[in-house]
Structure 1
Amino acid sequence: MDSLCSSWLPTQALILQISLIFGLTSASPDSQALKYPSSSCTLKRTVGASVQLPLTSPLNSSIREIEWNWQPENDEKTQLVTWKPQTPTPDWYDLEEIYKHRLNLTEKAFLSIRNLTMEMSGLYTAKIKFNTGKSKEEKFRLCLYDPIPHPQIQIRSSSNTSGWCNISLECEIPGNTGNLTVIWLSQGLPRHLEQRGIPPNSRNLSLSLPISHIKSHLTCVVSNPAEEKNATLHLEDICPWRGSLQSKWLWLCILLMVLMVSLGAGVWIWMRKKMQTRRGRWVHSPANGSPSPSDRGIYEPSDCCDQQPRPSL
């Protein structure tokens, strides 16, 4: 199985916590890893899936016969089918009704199994017999696991203090009964995150992060040797008011300052024009010796009002 989340998260993703959950207190029959190490399993699948056991030996005229058998866990070996190049159809042995319609042999003599059940795990062996009298075996250990339910990230607590968002999360796995691995991944967070109260074997995550990084997100990845599922939580959903609302208040303050400056400038211009209108009156009657239209202009009060009165005769 490829490395976790290699197709959907960048390599720079920060691993916040790795918690190995080794099942419940009582061992369950679906925990194949309790019986065999994951490294010993040739093929790993979940219940209900399909699998194909491919042979590395090519089909040619040197092969006389191929016989497939199966040894379930803690049980005797069972012969399944025999294939011969001269026979157009494979020769199936008597199988239980539950297995008859789930097994198939391909044109290349690969054993194909569909709708897997937990009982179908075990060791599958293809015995290849050659015309020379020699033979060889190709073995496949099939390990089966219960499907992983979709995890959910539950917010246990959250608070905003002094520009920091404090959160406590839990990666909840409904109906979990098997051995699972839980990994927390992040994207867009600083490396110096403050982690608090993270037990070594827990799905809980507690941390504090600056408000400036609330646009990042956390991902809880749950996996077993056969599959993985994940849930993602956007941190803006936890601390929205410290980020978006604070930005709105900043823009509102800037807008108010612009309006106040514009209003003050308008008032100042209006008052200046009003004063100039009062100081410069040039409309006079011709009978009083006012200047002609061509000589009209703006006169200061000192130009028209500071003349000494003429003495009377």
Structure 2
Amino acid sequence: MDSLGSSWLPTQTLILQISLIFGLSSPSPDSQAVKYPSSSCTLKRTVGTSVQLTLTSPLHPNVREIEWNWKSEDDEKTRLLVSWKPQTPNPDWYELEEIYKHRLNLTEMAFLSIRNLTMEMSGLYTAKIKFNSGKSNEEEFRLCLYDPIPHPQIQILSSSNKSGWCNISLECEIPGNAGNLTVTWLSQGLPRHLKQRGILPNSRNLSLSLPISHINSHLTCVVSNPAEEKNATLHLEDICPWRGSLQSKWFWLGILLMVLMVSLGAGVWIWMRKKMQTRRGRWVHSPARGFRLESYSPGPSHRGIY
């Protein structure tokens, strides 16, 4: 770490760890109660998607019939859906409400396929497998449905820099009805001792203090429910651009120094060249006086011996 703000490092690092340990993951304040806990859900899907209920029991010749029924989560009413028999070419569908009739399909392996899911279609689906021996077996699927997650946005509530530290306050904004959602902040590019995760009752807001040497990284706000997740990312350099402007100042200062050095060197070279042109000389030898430097000026009337 550079010397800038180095005396503050232990205190500021502690502040960052506390913010991240206690401020990163929690249910949204607008969370709605779910009738069945997520752990009891066999399948988790988002409204508008599709799902296929796959049987694990093999369809050996001893199977006489497979009957699917559905117990709605809303009214807890059990509906018979379809009956499949190996001897018949087509499944036998029971009478269904128009809203469900064209959304259900049975595959050749007697798997129940549901498309364009609505919130009302959550609940307990049961396949009753009947054998020629008179015995039967049941496979259950609890389908839990969730509203689609809107795309989150990271809002900058405040930002400042002081003594080499970038102080920021952010909010993970979720448009619309943000019920039953979890908000998690993730970081990338930060040192391990500055990167933690934790829980706080309101984790949409995050406050950090980062040293100047660590803002070349980014933070990601992850919004999720048990069925899907969406995220938004913000580069820290976009929040604290003063580091980039400082680098830009040093860059242009370096360019200016280079121009000055080149100009100075050119001036010295021109001065030396003129000096050599105004005073030239050569070594001559005579038996009486030995070697001597004979110099002269360019003018025709001046000539001297040094």
Q: Give TM-score, length-normalised by structure 2.
A: 0.80
Structure 1 match to 2:294: 299
Cα deviation for residue 281 of structure 1 reads 7.1
Alignment of 1:1-313 (within 5 A): 17-21=23-27, 24=30, 27=32, 31=33, 34-73=34-73, 74-193=75-194, 200-243=201-244, 245-280=245-280, 299-300=294-295, 305=304
Question: Closer, same or farther in 2 for the Cα pair 1:63/1:23, shift >3 Å?
Answer: farther
Letter in 2 for 1:43: L
Structure 2 counterpart SS, 1:300? strand
Structure 2 counterpart SS, 1:299? strand
Aligned partners of 2:29, 2:106: CA distance in 1, in Å? 36
Aligned partners of 1:239, 1:278: CA distance in 2, in Å? 59
Output one character per residue of 1:291-313: Cα deviation in whole Å (capped at 9) or x when no partner: xxxxxx97236x95479xxxxxx
Cα deviation for residue 45 of structure 1 reads 0.6
Structure 1 match to 2:13: none
Aligned partners of 1:218, 1:299: CA distance in 2, in Å? 78
Output one character per residue of 1:161-187: Cα deviation in whole Å (capped at 9) or x when no partner: 222221111001111342111111111
Aligned partners of 2:230, 2:103: CA distance in 1, in Å? 27
Output one character per residue of 1:40-68: Cα deviation in whole Å (capped at 9) or x when no partner: 10001111111110000121211000000
Aligned partners of 2:161, 2:56: CA distance in 1, in Å? 60
Aligned partners of 1:172, 1:212: CA distance in 2, in Å? 28
Question: Closer, same or farther in 2 for the Cα pair 1:275/1:133, shift >3 Å?
Answer: same
Cα deviation for residue 263 of structure 1 reads 2.2
Question: Closer, same or farther in 2 for the Cα pair 1:35/1:145, shift >3 Å?
Answer: same
Deviates most, 102-111 or 168-177: 168-177
Letter in 2 for 1:256: L
Question: Closer, same or farther in 2 for the Cα pair 1:177/1:264, shift >3 Å?
Answer: closer
Question: Closer, same or farther in 2 for the Cα pair 1:189/1:105, shift >3 Å?
Answer: same
Output one character per residue of 1:263-299: Cα deviation in whole Å (capped at 9) or x when no partner: 22232233333333333379xxxxxxxxxxxxxx972
Question: Closer, same or farther in 2 for the Cα pair 1:100/1:300, shift >3 Å?
Answer: same
Aligned partners of 1:199, 1:138: CA distance in 2, in Å? 39
Letter in 1 for 2:45: R
- Check the 8 A contact 1:194/1:208 in 2, yes or no: no
Letter in 2 for 1:20: S
Larger Cα-atom Rg: 1
Cα deviation for residue 258 of structure 1 reads 2.1
- Check the 8 A contact 1:46/1:227 in 2, yes or no: yes
- Check the 8 A contact 2:166/2:211 in 1, yes or no: yes
- Check the 8 A contact 1:194/1:207 in 2, yes or no: no
Letter in 2 for 1:299: E
Q: Give TM-score, length-normalised by structure 1.
A: 0.78
Question: Closer, same or farther in 2 for the Cα pair 1:61/1:305, shift >3 Å?
Answer: closer
- Check the 8 A contact 1:19/1:183 in 2, yes or no: yes
- Check the 8 A contact 1:193/1:207 in 2, yes or no: no
Aligned partners of 1:138, 1:173: CA distance in 2, in Å? 38
- Check the 8 A contact 1:18/1:181 in 2, yes or no: no
Letter in 2 for 1:58: P
Report the number of matched residues: 270
Letter in 2 for 1:61: P
Aligned partners of 1:49, 1:279: CA distance in 2, in Å? 94
Aligned partners of 1:85, 1:192: CA distance in 2, in Å? 62
Q: For the aligned residues, what is the CA RMSD?
A: 2.7
Aligned partners of 2:215, 2:91: CA distance in 1, in Å? 62
Greater RCO, 1 or 2 (C-alpha within 8 Å, sep 6+): 2
Aligned partners of 1:82, 1:277: CA distance in 2, in Å? 112
